[in-house]
Structure 1
Amino acid sequence: MKVLVPVKRVIDYNVKVRVKSDGSDVDLANVKMSMNPFDEIAVEEAIRLKEAGIATEVVAVSVGVEKAQETLRTALALGADRAILIVAADDVHTDIEPLAVAKILKAIVDEEQPQIVLAGKQAIDNDMNATGQMLSALLGWSQATFASEVKVEGDNAIVTREVDGGLQTISVKLPAIITTDLRLNEPRYAKLPDIMKAKKKPLDQRTAADLGVDVTPRLTVVKVAEPAEREAGEIVGSVDELIAKLKEAGAV
């Protein structure tokens, strides 16, 4: 069984994002970039499936700028067998929209024929939460989103999903798209010997044009702004005073 894992290069989650002075975009100059945390979880789960003897090959794929090679090398160091980079932009500020990414991934899936696509449920930069679902629609495959547990039993995947009301367990027929939630696992750290070995693992580089996919944006960013600062709180002396304050504010 082959598992395909899409990974995205994003601003490191420890970095405080800055907005450009003209409000046109987020400032990415000299900013540390890393693998999207949800994608790290997907890579870890794919590797665990391989270690359990269920998966035979783990292929990481990334869509974006050429520097995304670094992200793919991280996936290879963690345990992926090979990687595919689809260069779809020259500027790091160009974010490839979910539909274009899904179309590119469909082309890769058609070539690679994996039984499972394990993807992060969303990227922490744009929080779209759409690529996995769109890929499922384009392929006509089953989908199991927000997975907190994954078991493969024969031709089916038993997936426990995180939903608003708690947990939901479903069975989906393979091939399938599975998107990962935070509680699925805790990703491992890459060891130095594995980082060195990753440099020799195969990394195929292509372009979106090679796959016949148009990545022209459909959306236009009008303005980017910092979140409004929170106002200072107010300490009250009793429950009655709290209720009175809430009534004044129209909250109750």
Structure 2
Amino acid sequence: MASKPMRILVGCKRVIDYAVKIRVKPDGSGVVTDGVKHSLNPFDEIAMEEAIRMKEKKIANQIVAVSCGPDKCQETLRTALAMGADEAIHVKLSDAEYETLQPLAVAKILSEVAKQQKADLVIVGKQAIDDDSNQTGQMIAALLDWPQATFASEVTVVEDKLRVTREIDGGLETITVATPAVISADLRLNEPRYATLPNIMKAKKKPMATTTPSDYNVDISPRLKVLAVSDPPTREAGSKVADVDELITKLKDAGSL
């Protein structure tokens, strides 16, 4: 890598844990979050692991974890600090603000944080498992006018650039990007480590700053309105056929509907 090690900014979203069965609120306004286990978004966990590996290889020397949301997001940031981040920034929002927070507002906040922190690289998960938007990384790159390497499954350093293998519909694509840049992590990029007890204890002493969207002059008003949330339709029961001829007949009938 060129001259000095990088300063990396990693987005860390608090989401309902992947193992929890999602329940829709009776009024259809959203999903039940009260009393439900939350954790660090798995794709953001992969992003954090990649940043840590870069630091271990001396490619980076500082990792800053950032999360936008209510006070409970500090638990998520402590997880990131226990994994290996050096410091954290909690962009505090009320519960009501967080419920309507959308990717564009998050991208604006993270891009401003990247400027203030003089970050050389921003790594985020390719998407969050709650809304599956897959927009934030691309928007950050556009706002900062930085090159982007999305859906990364491998990141290596070649001279003064990053060589990134991307997962695309047709297979794999390899590109090189100069820093500063934005990378979004895909599932196969790495396998995140578990935080050890000593590191969990150390995380409690690592610095965590608290800010608000207004500190970055970002308007977080939602651009989109959720009209209703509902469970997917129940899958209809299958049926048995006696032979291939009956199967073909049923397929023909279904195709003519």
The TM-score range, normalised by the shorter chain, is over 0.9
Q: CA deviation at 1:92?
A: 7.7
Show the 5 A alignment for 1:79-118. Answer: 79-91=84-96, 94-118=99-123
8 A contact 1:82–1:203 mirrored in 2: yes
Q: Distance in 1 between matches of 2:166 and 2:46?
A: 15
Residue 175 (structure 1) aligned to one of 155, 177, 180 = 180
Tell me which residue corresponds to 2:7: 2
Query: Which amino acid in 2 is paired with 1:8?
Result: K
Show the 5 A alignment for 1:95-174. Answer: 95-174=100-179
8 A contact 1:28–1:92 mirrored in 2: no
8 A contact 2:69–2:98 mirrored in 1: no
Tell me which residue corresponds to 1:38: 43
Q: CA deviation at 1:157?
A: 0.9
Show the 5 A alignment for 1:16-55. Answer: 16-55=21-60
Could you report, residue by residue, the CA deviation over 1:56-104 in whole angstroms, capped at 9, with x for unpaired residues?
1111001111210000000000011110110133338614111111111
Q: How many residues align?
A: 252
Q: 1:184 to 1:151 in 2, by over 3 A?
A: same
Identity among equivalent pairs (%): 60
8 A contact 2:15–2:40 mirrored in 1: yes
Could you report, residue by residue, the CA deviation over 1:120-149 in whole angstroms, capped at 9, with x for unpaired residues?
000111111001001100000000100010
Unpaired segments ≥5 residues, structure 2: 1-5
Q: Distance in 1 between matches of 2:256 and 2:144?
A: 47
TM-score for the superposition, normalised by structure 1: 0.96
Q: Check if 1:78 corresponds to 2:115.
A: no
Residue 203 (structure 2) aligned to one of 175, 198, 201 = 198
8 A contact 1:41–1:186 mirrored in 2: yes
Q: Distance in 1 between matches of 2:256 and 2:65?
A: 49
Q: CA deviation at 1:46?
A: 0.5
4+ residue segments displaced more than 6 Å: none
Query: Which amino acid in 2 is paired with 1:125?
Result: D
Show the 5 A alignment for 1:202-213. Answer: 202-213=207-218
Query: Which amino acid in 2 is paired with 1:6?
Result: G
Unpaired segments ≥5 residues, structure 1: none
Q: CA deviation at 1:251?
A: 7.4
Q: Distance in 2 between matches of 1:58 and 1:9?
A: 18
Q: Distance in 2 between matches of 1:110 and 1:222?
A: 35
8 A contact 1:88–1:96 mirrored in 2: no
Query: Which amino acid in 1 is paired with 2:183?
Result: I
Query: Which amino acid in 1 is paired with 2:157?
Result: V
Q: 1:37 to 1:195 in 2, by over 3 A?
A: same
TM-score for the superposition, normalised by structure 2: 0.94
Q: Distance in 1 between matches of 2:35 and 2:148?
A: 37
Q: CA deviation at 1:155?
A: 2.5
Q: Distance in 2 between matches of 1:154 and 1:85?
A: 34
Query: Which amino acid in 2 is paired with 1:131?
Result: T
Q: Check if 1:187 corresponds to 2:192.
A: yes
Q: Secondary structure at the match of 2:201?
A: helix
Q: Secondary structure at the match of 1:249?
A: helix
Q: 1:240 to 1:165 in 2, by over 3 A?
A: farther
